Structure 1
Amino acid sequence: MGKISAFYTMPHPPIIIPEVGRGEEEKIKETSEACYKVAKEIDSIKPDTIIIVTPHGPLFSDAVALSNGDSIYGDLGKFGASQVKLDLDINVSLTEKIIKYSEKENILTAKLTKDSAQRYGVKYELDHGTIVPLYFINKKYSSYKVVHITYGMLPKMQLYKFGMSIKKAVEDSNTNAVFIASGDLSHKLTDDGPYEYSPYGEKFDKEIISLLKNGDVFEVFNMDHTTIEKAGECGLRSYYIMLGSMNGYNIKGNLLAYEGTFGVGYSVMNFSIKDSNKDTYNQLIEKKTKRFTDKIKNEGVYVRLARESLTHYLIYGEYMDIPSYATDEMKENKRGVFVSLKKEGQLRGCIGTIFPTTENVAKEIIRNAIEAGEHDPRFNPVTEEELEELDFSVDVLTEPKEALKEDLDPKRYGVIVRSGLKSGLLLPDLEGVDTVDQQLDIVLQKAGISSYENYTIEKFEVIRHR
């Protein structure tokens, strides 16, 4: 019977590699030393397989990608160090078992070879999210095969179940494996980092490190969506899969190093694991169900109507009637309405009307909730199974009024621009839209109107229901 003998989180900044950093790597020396410590531990375990999950291989919206050729190669040429290269044998039999167990759980996987990667329009190669951690491992130990996984943009519980499939596949083999969850934390820790500073960056890093140290799987899966989204991280989905691979264990994390020198959080951890009789997965499902029930109880009538409208349509294939709980305001007023859907903090659909197209706000919500879920051209239609994952918001627009540029305020007013048959709309209070000039530039671009053309401006306010 096989086993995953050890679990690690490791970052992947190319600058930590001396051939890339050329001295700059000294600024994150603690991280480097911690990575060498991990390498030494792995050398003492002498696994035949390293399972590594990365954010930077071929990324699919609906599937987890697993490299499945006999071998795989990659280098750091794009970072000016093509001499740093890895050519690794793949544990094909274990990869096939993971795919088989995932299929039993209805988790979609993309099996990548050189030929299939070409058909998908992606590259079959090792990415820096894999090469950087394994650079350190190979300094101490290199007698292993690899299972190379790129997480997909799947719901977090599906990623957890995928991790459980990894564990089952390993146990159904003679493999002695270690697991590396490759990922950086927030990329928004400082103004001179790769992205604009956000106070959510430090908040996210402290919270995820604390939760992993305490082995609090439930709270990892209950982290605030806004914090996650605004932190600009890339490691959390790797962690979801790793935690799934630990299902059935009591876990405690040991922080070997954390640094944010370059505006990005780099965390290195190992874990102590003890067998337990608890079924973490089913406990997560129970807590998820309770959170959903509580959320439904606390939703206002506007949001409730949007949710029930889309739910009714997906079940019965028809529009619902206006329910008895709709207020007089919803039944007597005519307004433009935008309905937005988010899934784990990420936009899942948004459709709206500037001017009313139905006889009242209630019908406008019913119509636009279905349009947002089924007909937003940027996304696949929402499925019935997704409904519990969705957060709904409803924006009711006031009647637009003619305005001049000096009348605008991007935090308070949305804006509509028109020139001939061309028009564009931008809602108010959007992240990153802080000035009137920014607001006008964006909405003109959306409308396909040049700033040199003659155009009219209208402003409106939004009553937001969440």
Structure 2
Amino acid sequence: MGKILGHFIMPHPPILVSEVGKGEELDASLTIDACFNVAKEISELKPETIIIITPHGPMFRDAIALTDSNHISGDFGNFNSPDVEFDITIDLNLTESIKNYAHGMGVPTIAINEDIAGRYNISHELDHGAMVPLYFVNKEYSNYKLVHITYGLLSETDLYKFGISIKQAVELSNTNVVVIASGDLSHKLNDKAPYGYSPEGKVFDEKILELLKSGDVMGVFDMDKDMIESAGECGLRSFDILLGTMEGRKISGEILSYEGPFGIGYGVMRFNADEMDDKNYLEKIIDKRKNTMKKIRDNEDKYVKLARETLEHHVKTGETIAMPGYVTEDMLSEQRGVFVSLKKDGELRGCIGTIFPAYENTAEEIIRNAIEAGERDPRFSPVEEEELDDIIYSVDVLMPPEEASRETLDPKKYGVIVRSGRKTGLLLPDLSGVDTATEQIDIALKKAGINPLENYKIERFEVIRHK
């Protein structure tokens, strides 16, 4: 019978690698020391296999990716250090078993080998999210096989289920393993951060570390989603899976180090999960998700309700909904441009709209754009019926645009339209990660296919946002 001997969280900034950092890594000496301590502990545990969960391998919206080749190799050539190389044997038996258990729990996975990687035009090399933690491990221990997992953009419930699948597969194998969840914390801790500063960055880091230390699984899943998005993290989904691997155990975490010298939070943790626990967190997570969606549905206004019921009806029947009786007189008498946005598990699932009204009234505009957003946004596959319960809607009703200059823009208050000849690009206001007028214009220009050196006009507009 196999066993998970240890559970760890490790960050993955390449600058920690001395051959990459070339002295700059010393600014993160606390993190480096903690990573070496984890490596020494793993060496003492002597696992036959290391399971690593990374955000930076082949990423899919609708599946978790597992490497399914005999070997996986990589180097830090992208960080000017090609001589730091890896070539690791994949534990194919355990990988296959994890996939099978995940399938049994209804969690979609995809096996990545060279053929599949070529088909999707993705890399089949080891990513830095795995290489940085393994760099430290390899300094102390090298006699192991690897299970290489890249989380997908799935629901937190599915990620937790996948963690349970890992646990089940290991326990019914003859393999002793350690699990490493690779992930950085907020990327927006201060003005040095690569994605700008957000006050939510520090709040997120302190909160997630506190919850993980106390083993508060439900607290992790109850964290405010807007705060998480504003913090700009990349580790939470790895942690969701890691927590699933400890289902049925009493969890406590030890913070070995935390610092943010480059504006990004780096946390190193080990967990104790030796003692059995009769709590069924999976059941609670599923109930929480159902209750959250019920609250959202119970509190949606008529604009959002119309968008949701339109798409649900069209997906199920292929027909356009008849105008519901709850639609207000304003919705029937006004003509406005409308954008309908769909989100699933915190990620955009579709967004289509009209700058100027194209239909008889605002209600009709919502109906048409809800169908377009759900079924004809070229960036996404059409929404399927089994997804409908998980989608959150918002409707932006556009006010008439007015001429503007870069200086008069405010990305929190105004959306922006850029025009050059027949090319037009629009960006809605108050979008996460868009904090300056320059960012707003750059994104709108890119959407329109307008070269920034071209002559273009700028307009701004306000919206009434229904969420």
TM-score by length of 2: 0.91
Q: Look up the SS of the partner of 1:58 in the other structure.
A: coil
Q: 2:199 maps to which residue?
A: 199
CA contact (8 A) 1:229 1:346 kept: no
Deviations 1:39-72 (A, max 9, x none): 2222222211111111122222222221222222
Instruction: Evaluate the alpha carbon distance shift between residue 208 and residue 417 of structure 1 in structure 2; reply closer, same or farther with a 3 A threshold.
Output: closer
Distance 1:116 1:147 in 2: 17
For residue 465 of structure 1, report the CA deviation from its aligned partner. 1.1
Q: How does 1:287-298 map to 2 (within 5 A)?
A: 287-298=288-299
Aligned: 1:111 with 2:86: no
Aligned: 1:44 with 2:44: yes
Provide the identity percentage.
Answer: 56
Range with greater deviation from structure 2 (119-128 or 2-11):
119-128
CA contact (8 A) 1:416 1:458 kept: yes
Distance 2:166 2:429 in 1: 45
Which amino acid in the other structure matches residue 138 of structure 2? Answer: N
Q: Look up the SS of the partner of 1:275 in the other structure.
A: coil
Distance 1:421 1:120 in 2: 33
Q: 2:340 maps to which residue?
A: 339
Instruction: Evaluate the alpha carbon distance shift between residue 360 and residue 158 of structure 1 in structure 2; reply closer, same or farther with a 3 A threshold.
Output: same
Q: Look up the SS of the partner of 1:249 in the other structure.
A: coil
For residue 417 of structure 1, report the CA deviation from its aligned partner. 5.3
Aligned: 1:101 with 2:106: no
For residue 270 of structure 1, report the CA deviation from its aligned partner. 0.7
CA contact (8 A) 2:307 2:367 kept: yes
For residue 453 of structure 1, report the CA deviation from its aligned partner. 7.5
Distance 1:179 1:39 in 2: 12
Aligned: 1:15 with 2:15: yes
For residue 433 of structure 1, report the CA deviation from its aligned partner. 5.8
Deviations 1:341-397 (A, max 9, x none): 122332211111223233222222122112111111111111222223222111112
For residue 446 of structure 1, report the CA deviation from its aligned partner. 4.3
TM-score by length of 1: 0.92
Specify every segment of 5 or more residues in structure 2 that has no aligned partner in the other structure, as ranges. none
Which amino acid in the other structure matches residue 329 of structure 1? Answer: D
User: RMSD of aligned C-alpha atoms?
Assistant: 2.5
Deviations 1:408-463 (A, max 9, x none): 5445444545565444444344553644x766665555445678878776654321
Q: Look up the SS of the partner of 2:251 in the other structure.
A: strand
Q: Look up the SS of the partner of 1:12 in the other structure.
A: coil
Q: How does 1:323-338 map to 2 (within 5 A)?
A: 323-338=324-339
Q: How does 1:81-96 map to 2 (within 5 A)?
A: 81-96=81-96
CA contact (8 A) 2:3 2:177 kept: yes
Distance 1:449 1:90 in 2: 46
Distance 1:455 1:55 in 2: 38
Q: 1:2 maps to which residue?
A: 2
Distance 1:38 1:450 in 2: 49
Distance 2:453 2:149 in 1: 49
Q: 2:434 maps to which residue?
A: 432
For residue 406 of structure 1, report the CA deviation from its aligned partner. 9.0
Instruction: Evaluate the alpha carbon distance shift between residue 138 and residue 56 of structure 1 in structure 2; reply closer, same or farther with a 3 A threshold.
Output: same
Q: Look up the SS of the partner of 2:227 in the other structure.
A: helix
Distance 1:454 1:145 in 2: 57
Instruction: Evaluate the alpha carbon distance shift between residue 373 and residue 92 of structure 1 in structure 2; reply closer, same or farther with a 3 A threshold.
Output: same
Which amino acid in the other structure matches residue 63 of structure 2? Answer: A
Deviations 1:294-348 (A, max 9, x none): 1111111211221122122222222222222222212222222111112233221
Deviations 1:116-174 (A, max 9, x none): 33333223222222222122222222222111111122222222211111111111211
Instruction: Evaluate the alpha carbon distance shift between residue 252 and residue 400 of structure 1 in structure 2; reply closer, same or farther with a 3 A threshold.
Output: same
Instruction: Evaluate the alpha carbon distance shift between residue 333 and residue 256 of structure 1 in structure 2; reply closer, same or farther with a 3 A threshold.
Output: same
Q: 2:302 maps to which residue?
A: 301
Distance 1:438 1:93 in 2: 47
Distance 1:308 1:110 in 2: 32
Distance 1:44 1:404 in 2: 64
Distance 1:338 1:121 in 2: 32
Range with greater deviation from structure 2 (405-414 or 275-284):
405-414
Q: Look up the SS of the partner of 1:243 in the other structure.
A: helix
Range with greater deviation from structure 2 (357-366 or 437-446):
437-446
Specify every segment of 5 or more residues in structure 1 that has no aligned partner in the other structure, as ranges. none
